[in-house]
Amino acid sequence: MKTKVGFIGLGNLGTPIAQNLIEAGYHLQVYNRTSSKLEALDQNSITRCSSPAESADGVAFIVTVLSDDKAVKEILTNENGILKTLPEGAVHISVSTILPETAKELDVLHRAAGSHYLTSPVFGRPEAAAAKKLWVCLSGPEEIKEAARPLLESISQGIIDFGEEAGAANVVKLTGNFMIQASMEMMAEAYTLAEKYQVDRTKVADFFGSTLFNSPIFKTYGKMIAEKDYSQVGFTAQLGYKDAKLVFSMSQQSQTPMPFISAIHNRLLSALAKGWNQRDWVEAISRGVTDDAGVE
Amino acid sequence: MKTKVGFIGLGNLGTPIAQNLIEAGYHLQVYNRTSSKLEALDQNSITRCSSPAESADGVAFIVTVLSDDKAVKEILTNENGILKTLPEGAVHISVSTILPETAKELDVLHRAAGSHYLTSPVFGRPEAAAAKKLWVCLSGPEEIKEAARPLLESISQGIIDFGEEAGAANVVKLTGNFMIQASMEMMAEAYTLAEKYQVDRTKVADFFGSTLFNSPIFKTYGKMIAEKDYSQVGFTAQLGYKDAKLVFSMSQQSQTPMPFISAIHNRLLSALAKGWNQRDWVEAISRGVTDDAGVE
Amino acid sequence: MKTKVGFIGLGNLGTPIAQNLIEAGYHLQVYNRTSSKLEALDQNSITRCSSPAESADGVAFIVTVLSDDKAVKEILTNENGILKTLPEGAVHISVSTILPETAKELDVLHRAAGSHYLTSPVFGRPEAAAAKKLWVCLSGPEEIKEAARPLLESISQGIIDFGEEAGAANVVKLTGNFMIQASMEMMAEAYTLAEKYQVDRTKVADFFGSTLFNSPIFKTYGKMIAEKDYSQVGFTAQLGYKDAKLVFSMSQQSQTPMPFISAIHNRLLSALAKGWNQRDWVEAISRGVTDDAGVE
Amino acid sequence: MKTKVGFIGLGNLGTPIAQNLIEAGYHLQVYNRTSSKLEALDQNSITRCSSPAESADGVAFIVTVLSDDKAVKEILTNENGILKTLPEGAVHISVSTILPETAKELDVLHRAAGSHYLTSPVFGRPEAAAAKKLWVCLSGPEEIKEAARPLLESISQGIIDFGEEAGAANVVKLTGNFMIQASMEMMAEAYTLAEKYQVDRTKVADFFGSTLFNSPIFKTYGKMIAEKDYSQVGFTAQLGYKDAKLVFSMSQQSQTPMPFISAIHNRLLSALAKGWNQRDWVEAISRGVTDDAGVE
């Protein structure tokens, strides 16, 4: 008989993760606010749930892939929240990008309820999730991490352990998102400078992306920025701004002045002010740079 | 009989390049302001010269590896400059990091004198130069680039062609230096943020350097920044500032607002103001970030 | 018989305000967390209260001079908060520097309780308060403003009306604090630049403060910054940072990118990170600038 | 008989200065590149000159009001420059806004020629110049300043002495221009923030301009910024950028990191990149802020 796992959150990232869990042999008790999203899953491998509580009922693990701090908190504490039904000793695997402070609050709630909280945000776009190429950043109690390992291995290409502190993996995740955004701003400035000097920006991006900066981030985003190709909206400016705001909030909370996050924050804030909320975050940053430079 | 090549500039980078040219079978006519530096070369493979003009006498190629715009201009136009003796049709291979505007001036001077100017700045620290692992950015007339190719191949792992414009390769070189400095600032901010949240900064650097940011720049500098290891001075804050100032000047010249170079410029300017001129540029940036954050 | 007025908050600013109200003939029902502060007031003109609720009991007006958003909210809604006893139709005159969003919440709470909320933050340091030289920024319902006018006139040199919206006067107050902080940063940069060029910074400050910038802000702070005289702590770096953070939050909330508040925010954040919390905010900004410039 | 004074530079500022000198009883030997500008002056009080040298011939004082460092240098050293004819012991009163480093060079040239250089940049728009309401910042040798005083008093409301160093008064002038530009950026950010919160920006500007910031700069520019009235072009974005660039260059030269000048520099650079060169500098800054905020 298949292991039952709760699952909440069928967004761009959640859906391929759920599919991989099913493929790995888990039976999912799925709840999603928009129930039509459940059609994307193999119906024989899921139980449709009408509330978070129903999804958490009787499982050893429940995975949530939600959009922000508020959504995760509510999924726990609402009237039909998962704390109502999650069995003692069960593990909540939280994949969302949230503040470390929020993770600590959730950890306390779980401890009080006799269940466990595992911080496991991931790096990777939806395509990477589909190909089981996510990177999982993990933090939480040792034995809980061990117990969750097989499940996490079935959705990722690697798991990196950042210790026992509830918020630690969130710190790494938000730090990484900052580095991705800073890379985008850096490339947008660099390639626009080259263009202004009549040097082919795609050639410059090619060169750096295959030599000194031959990493996934610089290859993927470098191409989009060099070609000013913003046709595919993988991640909206609005969500990008949300992350920049969280990083800025961490900078405030920890008293770490970060001039780069200040610049990125204002860049994305201006994108929202101009009504670009639903454009790709690459466009928000890259077009911000070219507009300021009077370049098409 | 060996091909004679002029060579000027035995700094940290010039010396291993000269050694590789000798190893490749060239006989070098070497001039260096500090003549003691010539001891590092195989004495059978060089002719010691007492002026730039002597170094350029009778050669088909002359390579210069100099520290700044002023030095390169003077090597051409001084009383004993190379234009005095460089044969008609000979090629000046200029490896220095200088402004594209300066390269154009030098190109004009060479054309007037009947010789050729080839822009060929390189990426790579001295160790990379010794290992023939430099990347050469090249721009200039097609046939001249072809003629110089064998020589350049003997010192590098790859040559990237950026067209015929004299300044184009300089644009790429300075753009790349900006991206390296921005990467350093980004990592310094990111890893300090992690540290403030009690997450091991070396572990964070390891993770990013082996996954999303697994490129030479992020590996090499990431380790130094994470470990706050500034013991080895590979490139001084003063030279780092010089580059930041050149990039800023390009931003002005081309009317490209670049918030990131503004932040880096001020970071390095503050390092000089504090008297850190001779420290490594990694320290100038990384310690600047940790000092502002009140971190040891 | 004297009019009874509730009064909460005997800080640096609250105490002289209370004294002026007493002098104007009001009888104050005073509550302060630290009760020893009440000794500073004429005991015949006050009734000592042991809770906010007691202070609000039976009055037509209650004045609060509190340090932040949280404190004002709690004074309303706590178990012994003023909403418990404030008579129907009575007016809460709120002098604190808080977010407009918070003011709107408080307004809603008062309306629900049948009482009125009047936003009336002030500009002026404690000495100005003592000399009845405050400027009152006022917003709220017309008839309520009229009713409160005599009381406010007794503590200020002028009342400026910003309409009926609860948060409007807070917007003006925080905007002004931003302008004051920006003036301080501007002068610190300018006078340090002059000093670096061996021009007497006090002379420069004198000149600007008596000609183009002959306003109170530039005179008062200009002298302190030029002389690097930080001996008198009128307003702490910690409180200065709090205001910068509120302005930054308004910038986020309203989608108004503000490069200057970003710079000031980081300047003050760094001051806190270095442990300068209890120093004067002028020192936090001015020493930040001189330290970065390597100047004593 | 009237004292003869050389005069070069009939721009927006130079013309009213020349008129006031004439009114004060001086006879001017005037040179201007565009000779039609001489029509604005009383023809009985001037001698029309066809070169700088002619203008300097036989005078005790020559006043120059030129646009930039290059122009002033050329007026001295060109084939028909003033050093060709300026009598020994005569005084060059230089009103231009130039770098202190340039002033020192000019001082050296004059000393070698046996004449004197007096640094006397002014604050004030053309209307102020016409009304003799300029402020003169003065530096140079004591006796020379004394000799020039009556002439300078006839065009200004006050003369402020910054010592004997040739460049000192330039430092003050450029420092002041920085403070003016920073005030404009500050007000643009502040009033746009207020507008976003539905608070009348003209009312806010009125309040600050008549209380805490009741100085000429905040009144004059505050009104234009609050009303977004950019119809009158008093000083172009191009000239404003030139000044910002000079201040930035001083920041580099003296190793004084100045985050505010970085922000202003990029703001004005973007204005040029967008083709706003000939708009008023107030528009360049103020519209930059509102555009970034998505405000009309």
Query: Are both D209 and D111 inside the same structural domain?
Result: no
> Phi then psi for A20, rounded to 5 degrees?
-70, -35
C234: pLDDT strictly greater than 90: no
Catalytic amino acids of D?
A: 173
Enter the tokens of residue D210. Answer: 């008549």
pLDDT at C235: 86
pLDDT at B234: 80
Together in a domain, C160 and C176: no
Report residue B92: phi and psi, to 5°. Answer: -95, 110
Two structure tokens written together for B294: 């009140």
Q: Are residues B96 and B149 in the same domain?
A: yes
A120-124: average pLDDT: 95
Same domain as C223, residue C252: yes
State the pLDDT at residue B146: 97
Final residue before a domain boundary, out of D166, D182, D211:
D166
Name C5's bridge partners: C28, C61
> In this complex, which of A262, A266, A270 lies closest to C266 when CB atoms are compared?
A262
Tokens (6 digits) for B68: 């700044």
Q: Which residues of A221-247 are buried (b: 16+ CB within 10 A; e: fewer)?
A: bbebbbebebeeeebbbbbbbbbbebb
Looking at the structure, tell me whether residues C74 and C209 fall in a common domain: no
The pLDDT tens digits of the residues spanning A71-112 come to: 999 999 999 999 999 999 999 999 999 999 999 999 999 999
Q: What is the pLDDT of residue C172?
A: 98
| pLDDT, tens digit, 9 for 90 and up, residues D10-29 | 998 999 999 999 999 999 99
What's the first-to-final CA gap in chain D, in angstroms? 59
Among D256, D257, D269, the residue with its CB nearest the CB of B252 is: D269
Cα dihedral across residues D194, D197, D203, D204: positive or negative: negative
Contact between residue A287 and residue A191 where contact means Cβ atoms under 8 Å apart: no
> Do B65 and B12 have their domain in common?
yes
CB pairs under 8 A between C and D: 192
Q: What is the largest CA-CA distance in chain A?
A: 65
Please report, rounded to a whole number, the percentage of residues in chain C having pLDDT higher than 70: 100
Which residue, B25, B216, B34, is CA-closest to B133? B216
Q: Is the dihedral of CA C257, C259, C265, C270 positive or negative?
A: positive
Share above pLDDT 70 across residues of chain D, in percent, rounded to a whole number: 100
**CATH code where residue C126 lies:** 3.40.50.720
Domain count of the fold of chain A: 2
Structural domain harbouring C189: 170-292
Cβ pair A257:C270 closer than 8 A: yes
Q: Cβ–Cβ of B259/D269 closer than 8 Å?
A: no
Helices (H) and strands (E) in chain C, counts: 12, 9
- The CATH number of whichever domain residue D183 belongs to comes to 1.10.1040.10
> Are residues A196 and A68 part of one domain?
no
Domain boundary residue, one of D123, D143, D166:
D166
* Contact predicate D96/D64, CB 8 Å: yes
- How many residues make up chain C in this entry? 296
In tens, the pLDDT along C96-126 reads 999 999 999 999 999 999 999 999 999 998 8
- Summarised one tens digit per residue, pLDDT across range C150-195 is 999 999 999 999 999 999 999 999 999 999 999 999 999 999 999 9
Is residue A156's pLDDT more than 90? yes
| DSSP state at residue D137 | E
| C21, C154: one domain | yes
Residue A62 pLDDT exceeds 80:
yes
Q: Any chain D CB within 8 A of the CB of B249? A: no
Mean confidence (pLDDT) of chain C: 96
Would you call D256 an interface residue with chain C, using a CB distance cutoff of 8 Å?
Answer: yes
Q: What is the Cα–Cα distance from D289 to D296, expressed in whole angstroms?
A: 10
For position B1, what pLDDT does the model report?
A: 72
Task: Report the gap between the CA of A254 and the closest CA in chain D (Å).
Answer: 22
**Which segments of chain D have a pLDDT < 70?**
none
pLDDT at C125: 85
ipTM score of the complex? 0.95
List of E strands, D11-132: 27-31, 46-48, 61-64, 91-94, 116-119, 122-123
For residue A233, is pLDDT > 90?
Answer: no
Average pLDDT of adjacent 10-residue blocks, chain B of 296 residues: 93 96 98 95 97 97 95 95 97 96 97 97 93 97 97 97 96 98 98 98 97 94 97 90 97 98 98 97 98 96
Q: Based on the domain organization, do A201 and A270 belong to the same domain?
A: yes
Partner-chain residue, chosen from B251, B255, B273, that has the shortest CB–CB distance to D255: B273
Check whether C1 has a pLDDT greater than 80.
no
Is residue D189 domain-shared with residue D110, that is, in the same domain? no
Looking at residue C275, its amino acid is G
* C145, C166, C187 - which closes a domain: C166
For all residues of chain A together, what is the average pLDDT? 96
Of A171 and B232, which is predicted with more confidence? A171
Please tell me whether residues B155 and B245 are part of one structural domain. Answer: no
Of the candidates D180, D128, D175, the residue with the CA atom closest to the CA atom of residue D156 = D128
Looking at CA atoms only, how far is residue D254 from chain C in angstroms? 6
Predicted local distance difference test score (pLDDT) of residue C259: 98
Listed residue (B219, C253, D129, A208) closest to A220, CA to CA: A208
- Entry pTM: 0.95
Residues B21 and B145 in one domain: yes
What integer pLDDT is reported at residue C249 of this predicted model? 97
From chain D, the residues in CB contact with A275 under 8 A are: 294
**pLDDT higher than threshold 90 for residue C25:** yes
pLDDT at D125: 85
Taking CB atoms and an 8 Å limit, are C258 and A266 in contact across chains? Answer: yes
